[in-house]
Amino acid sequence: MKRFFFIVFCIVNSLMGYSQSDIPSNWLASIDARQQVQDTTNDKVKKEREFQKTEAFIDNKSTTAAAQQDSKPVVGVEKFDSEVNSNFTSSVAEKVVKVVTNTRRFTVVDRTSYDKVKSELEFQKTEAFLDNKNTAKQGVALAAQYLILGNIIKLSIYRMKNPDGTVNGYKASTAFTLKVNDVESAKTTEAENFQTEVSPLMLSPESAMNEALKSVEPKMMAYFTQTFPLKTKLVKVLASKRESASTVLIVGGTGFGFKEGDKLIVEKTEMIKGKAFPSVVGQLKVVRIAGDDFTECSVSDGGKDILSRVNAGEKLICKLIVK
């Protein structure tokens, strides 16, 4: 189809008096490149969907049902594509995984090698595994709701030399893009570009690349914070005054990264023509982290509405306000 449009484009240009040489030589090539990237994304989403239908995954799924009900979205990190041939491309993916994990907003699952994941699931069905009651790796059976897709555009290692030609150390820099794909809907966010600073002089190429990647950690953290607003559930009214909720309990504590003083909006969701429509019913402020699993919040707005809806058994979702 794209070649048809290219032919039409050429004919129109000819009618307008332009010669063939006036047409950018890389125009069709750039379309082919964009199409190839889209095809790769579609293939990765298809692979995740097919994996979730495999016997190995389904057999293990029941063991992780409780974990899948966690309020945190389950995110799979795919093996990054790369436009450069380098031994350090895995360092970029590892840094992204670290940043994603440190946000405490996700349950992260490995999708860099489906063969490796399938082997792990098969092992979990063996007698040795079951006798040992080892559940540490059961998370591989979680269905990824989102896939993080990366493409490394540039990766440079600079060997710094002394005047006599001996190696004094190394510097590094890299550029890459990230996008997030919703496995169920196949919708993909716009690709976000990340360009590191050139690292300071380091003793090894590995340490130089690691230092370079540190320079984009704040931007990556902000990207994932904005892309995935932290959501959780309001589960109980702890105290009320004058038929208005004053203190409530929400799911998630230190494991979610909540801090005293954090603010959250409370939303109810109604279905309109088959579509979820959220609306704000109140606002909370974190006053005490009650361990890993729960947090106490004071109600700063909408106390009456919150109390009546909780008493009616309605599901209320709390969303962290990003500063």
The full set of domains in the chain, from first to last, is 45-227 (3.30.160), 231-320 (2.40.10.410)
Residue 203: per-residue pLDDT = 95
* Mean pLDDT within 113-141: 50
Residue keyed to tokens 């954090």: 262
- Residue 252 pLDDT grade (very low, low, confident, very high; cuts 50, 70, 90): confident
Q: Is the pLDDT of residue 113 over 60?
A: no
DSSP class of residue 17 equals: T
Residue type, 145: Q
Residue 306: per-residue pLDDT = 96
Q: Is the pLDDT of residue 134 over 50?
A: no
DSSP class of residue 16 equals: T
- Residue 225 pLDDT grade (very low, low, confident, very high; cuts 50, 70, 90): confident
Comparing 128-132, 164-168, 261-265, 289-293, which segment has the lowest mean pLDDT?
A: 128-132
Residue 271: per-residue pLDDT = 87
Dihedrals phi, psi of 40, to nearest 5 degrees: -65, -45
* Mean pLDDT within 122-135: 52
User: Encoding tokens for residue 258?
Assistant: 């909540």
Q: Is the pLDDT of residue 279 over 60?
A: yes
Give dist(CA 119, CA 175) in Å, integer: 33
pLDDT in tens, 2-60: 454 445 445 444 544 544 444 444 444 444 544 555 556 666 656 555 655 554 444 44
Q: Is the pLDDT of residue 165 over 70?
A: yes
Give dist(CA 169, CA 160) in Å, integer: 5
DSSP one-letter string for 292-303: TTEEEEEEEE-H
Contact present, 110 and 44 (Cβ < 8 Å): no
Count other Cβ atoms within 10 Å, centred on residue 105. Answer: 23
Count other Cβ atoms within 10 Å, centred on residue 260. Answer: 11
Residue 112: per-residue pLDDT = 65
- Residue 135 pLDDT grade (very low, low, confident, very high; cuts 50, 70, 90): very low
Give dist(CA 78, CA 51) in Å, integer: 13
- Residue 201 pLDDT grade (very low, low, confident, very high; cuts 50, 70, 90): very high
The count of residues in the chain is 323
Contact present, 213 and 219 (Cβ < 8 Å): no
Contact present, 111 and 43 (Cβ < 8 Å): no
Chain centroid to CA 76: how far?
7
Give dist(CA 79, CA 190) in Å, integer: 19
All residues at 6 or more sequence positions from 111 whose CB lies less than 8 Å from its CB, including other chains: 48, 76, 77, 78, 79, 117, 144, 147
pLDDT in tens, 169-200: 999 999 999 998 887 777 888 889 999 999 99
Give dist(CA 119, CA 134) in Å, integer: 16
DSSP one-letter string for 178-223: EEEEETTT--BPPPEEEEPPPPPPBSSHHHHHHHHHHTTHHHHHHH
Residue 6: per-residue pLDDT = 47
* Mean pLDDT within 267-276: 87
Q: What is the CA radius of gyration of the chain?
A: 25
Contact present, 174 and 212 (Cβ < 8 Å): yes
Whole-model pTM?
Answer: 0.64
DSSP one-letter string for 213-275: HHTTHHHHHHHHHHHS--EEEEEEEEEEETTEEEEEEEE--GGGT--TT-EEEEEEEEEETTE
Mean pLDDT for the chain? 78
Give dist(CA 209, CA 173) in Å, integer: 7
